[in-house]
Structure 1
Amino acid sequence: MADISLNRARTIIRKALAHGREKGFKPLSVVVLDAGGNMKAFEREDGASPGRFAVAHGKAYGAVMLGMPGSAQMQRAEDQAYFMACANGALGGQLIPVPGGVLVRDKRGALVAAVGVTGDTSDNDAAAAVAGIEAVNLTAEA
């Protein structure tokens, strides 16, 4: 299984947070999970509420465990609510199926990580994640 380095994970977070500040987003929280769903790195900006870790984690965890970004999970939840409810139950209730959970792929297309961002609108959260991922020359699947 491909993996993401701690250095790249930290850079993704730094660049995602910088993107949010540049765009005037509310304080963000960003988590990077490895391809197995294990936490690699996390940061919560000053002013972000303490519950944001669980939300960022849930966005990234759903993306990596289901192999689909938050936007696709949200569509699936709208189309097949029963499936998503069952998947969420099977995965311990940890899924947050909305934009802001972004898959990270290497140049060969292998899954190496997932990024979860929360704090602003879901679309802005996803944009911050994409900015961080692209800053380390990896491919974002939002």
Structure 2
Amino acid sequence: MSNLTLAIARDLIDQAMAHATQNFKKPVCVSVCDASGLLLAFVRMEGAPVRSVAISQGKGYSAARMGVTTQAVLERLHRENIEMGYFCDPLLTALPGGSPLKDKDGTLRGAIGVSGLTSAEDQQVTDYIAGKFAA
């Protein structure tokens, strides 16, 4: 797959919203970033918390910049007893709910961030989308 396009990003957002609605019955914010972490597409579903706007964008950015899920980043921070500030990027977050979007060859193409559910549920949604993207 080539670079992540706006059309693909919109499709991923639609899939994430459908998955969140079907499985968790709550509105979410969904952000899709390119491989550098820059926002490509965003949606705030009606009724999603306002705070989730920035959170979803931070999760997508962090997954793209770190190349792993934000859940994995959180686990690393705990395992190595380090703080997020050590990475010298104030936009990074370790809140679960961000997943890198890698193609079937493992090349990073972008990332997705979701906020509005519990962190574990947000992560489940992004992992689901990342899995479909890689297929």
TM-score for both structures, normalised by structure 1: 0.85
Question: 1:51 Cα deviation (Å)?
Answer: 2.0
Partner of 1:82: 82
Letter in 1 for 2:104: K
Q: Percent identity?
A: 33
Select the residue among 128, 134, 139 that pairs with 2:134: 139
Instruction: Write out aligned runs for 1:26-65 (5 A).
Output: 26-65=26-65
Instruction: Write out aligned runs for 1:79-118 (5 A).
Output: 79-87=79-87, 90-91=88-89, 93-118=90-115
Partner of 1:126: 123
Structure 2 residue matching 1:12: 3-state secondary structure: helix
CA distance in 1, matches of 2:43, 2:14: 9
Give 5+ residue unaligned stretches, structure 2: none
Superposition misfits of 4+ residues, deviation over 4 angstroms: none
Partner of 1:4: 4
Q: Deviations over 1:91-130 (max 9, x none)?
A: 1x21220221101011221100100001001121122223
Give 5+ residue unaligned stretches, structure 1: none
Structure 1 residue matching 2:82: 3-state secondary structure: helix
Root mean square deviation, CA, Å: 1.8
Structure 2 residue matching 1:82: 3-state secondary structure: coil
Structure 2 residue matching 1:112: 3-state secondary structure: strand
Structure 1 residue matching 2:96: 3-state secondary structure: coil
Question: Structure 1 residues 113 and 74, CA, compared in 2 at 3 Å: closer, same or farther?
Answer: same
Structure 1 residue matching 2:3: 3-state secondary structure: coil
TM-score for both structures, normalised by structure 2: 0.89
Question: 1:83 Cα deviation (Å)?
Answer: 4.6
CA distance in 2, matches of 1:9, 1:78: 32
CA distance in 1, matches of 2:67, 2:130: 17
How many residues in Structure 1 have an aligned counterpart in Structure 2?
134
